A and B are shown apart, each in its own frame.
Chain A
C-alpha cells in the first residue's frame, strides 16, 4: 500500500493522474503537464511535495554535528531562518543525498531530504549522530509541504494565508519565517520566485483550498521535473548518486573548503579527487532538432563518451535540453553526438541554468 499525502483526496477530486513516486501516490499532472509548466513560469502554480522527508534536529551540539555531516558549512547560518543547500557525502565523497538545512536556533535545525532516500538518510543521520554525540533526529511525519512557485506566487500566498505577509513579506531568497505552526521559506525547485510552506497535515487541505481561491492552480510532478531541469537543478538519483561526487555533478559551489580544519565526511576523498583532477563533469546540452534527449542516452565527443543524466523537452525554449555527465575535456561551445533511433543527432554543450525567472539564459 502506497503512502498518501494529506492532500491526496483533493488531487483526485481535481482530476490528477496519480503515479507512484518513491512509494507515494503522487499527482503527475492534472490534465496537461506543459500547461502547468507555463503556468508556473508566467503566473503561479502549487505542488504537493509532502512526500519529502522533514527531519528536526533538536538539542545541544547540533551545529557541531552538522559541520561534520554535510559538505557545505552550516556556520554560514548565522541568523534564525537562514537556509542552506548542501550535499551529504559518504567517505568516498559520493552523494548520499542533497538537502536543505534550516536554522532556527542553536538547539533546533531542520533538514528537508528527498523521499526516495528517506530510509538510508535517516539511517546515516542517526549513525553519524551517535558517533559524534549529536542530538537525535526526529522525522516529522505529521507535516505536509506545499511549494507555491511563479512570478505571482508570493502575492497570492499573502492573499491566501492570513498574517503571512507580515512575517514573510520581507524574506530574502533562502530565508524562512515561522507563522504559528507554518514555516514559510523563500525556496523552491523551479527557478522561479515563490515559497515552500511546511505545515501540519491537518492544516494542509484548508491551506490548499485557500491557495486555489487566491488563483494558484495545482501542478504535478511532471511539470516540477521540466521546471527544475530548465532551472539547471540536479535531481538526486538521476544527476548524482553515491558513486558521483559533487565536483562531478556541477555542485562544487556547495562544498565549503574553508576552514581547512572542518573535517566533514567525504572531505578527504574530495581533496584527493580535486588534486588528481576531476575526471568527469556535468554539462548542459541543447538539441535544436525535432527529437527529445532522454536519460541514459550515450553522448559521444572527441574527448570520450558520456551519458545523459536528465533530458526532456523544454516547454519554455521549445526544444530539448539535458544534463549530461561527460569527460572533463568537453566544454561549453562544443558539439557532441547523441545517437537516437539509428541516427546521430548533434547537440550543443552549454552552461546551465537554461531558464531563470521565466527567461532563457542561452
Chain B
C-alpha cells in the first residue's frame, strides 16, 4: 500500500513523503482522527533540540498521542470504524524483568520512528485498544499522556512507604494536571498539593487541596511522597525543593524530561533516605489501566475534558505548520488536531 507520511524535514518545515507499507495479518490499518501535540513534538518543530539529535532523527512524522478509526483488520478482531487509541511504544522483544517502555530496543513513535502524522498508520495488533463509546475523541487523543501518568503512579505505589497522607506534585503544566487528576482518583484519602510557577495555571487545579507558587512554599511544609512533572530547566529547582520538603524515607517520582544534566543535592538526599525513581513513557498495561480509570469515573473524564486547549481541523501541510505555530502562543491545555489531511 502506498501511504502518505507527513514528516518534519527541518525546523518549521513539513513535507509529504510516499512510503510503501507491507501489511501483514498481524497489522491493523488505522486512519488517524484526532492527534495531540506533546512538548517533545513542539521542540522538534522549533528545532529546539541539539543539532546532532535533529540530524539523526529528522525527517520524521511527529505526534505520538492520538486516536484513529480502524479501516482494515485482516483478522476481524476490530470492526471497521472502531475508535482506537494508538500505543506509540513498539517493543521489538520481550523481557521478563524490563518493561516494554524501558527496553532500549523498543521503537517509539515521533522519536526516531514515524509518528502518527500519516494518511494511514499500520499498527501491530497489540498496539491498538478500542475505546469505550462514551469517551470524547478529542480528550482521548491525549490518552497516551494519561497512560504516562498511570505509569508514574504505578511506579510510585511499588516504591513508596506506607505514608500517603500528603502527595505533592511539582509542575503546573499538562503532565502535572493529568497526574493530579489521577492522584485524586487513586489516592482518595490523601491530601493533594500542587507546586507551580504560574498562578494562572494553578487556578485550574480546583480539585487539589492546596496549591503553592514555588517561591512561596512554607519552610515547614512536609510532603509524604512527591512527583516531579516539570522537566527542562525547572527540574533542578523542583528536585531541590522536593528533597527539602519530603519527609525522611519518602519517594520522588521523576517524570519531567530535562534536556541537560541537573545538579542534585545528594547530601540531603542521602541523609533523608529519599528514593528517586525515574519513569518514562508507558506500556500497553498503562493504557489499559488509564482506560479503566476513565471509564470508572465521569469526574476524571470531565476534568481531563477541560484540558483540551487549541483545537483545529487540519487539511493541508500549511494547516499543520500553522497549527504548530499557534500552539506556541497557547500557554494552557493540550492542542488537538482534527486530522483530515
Q: Does chain A bind chain B? A: no
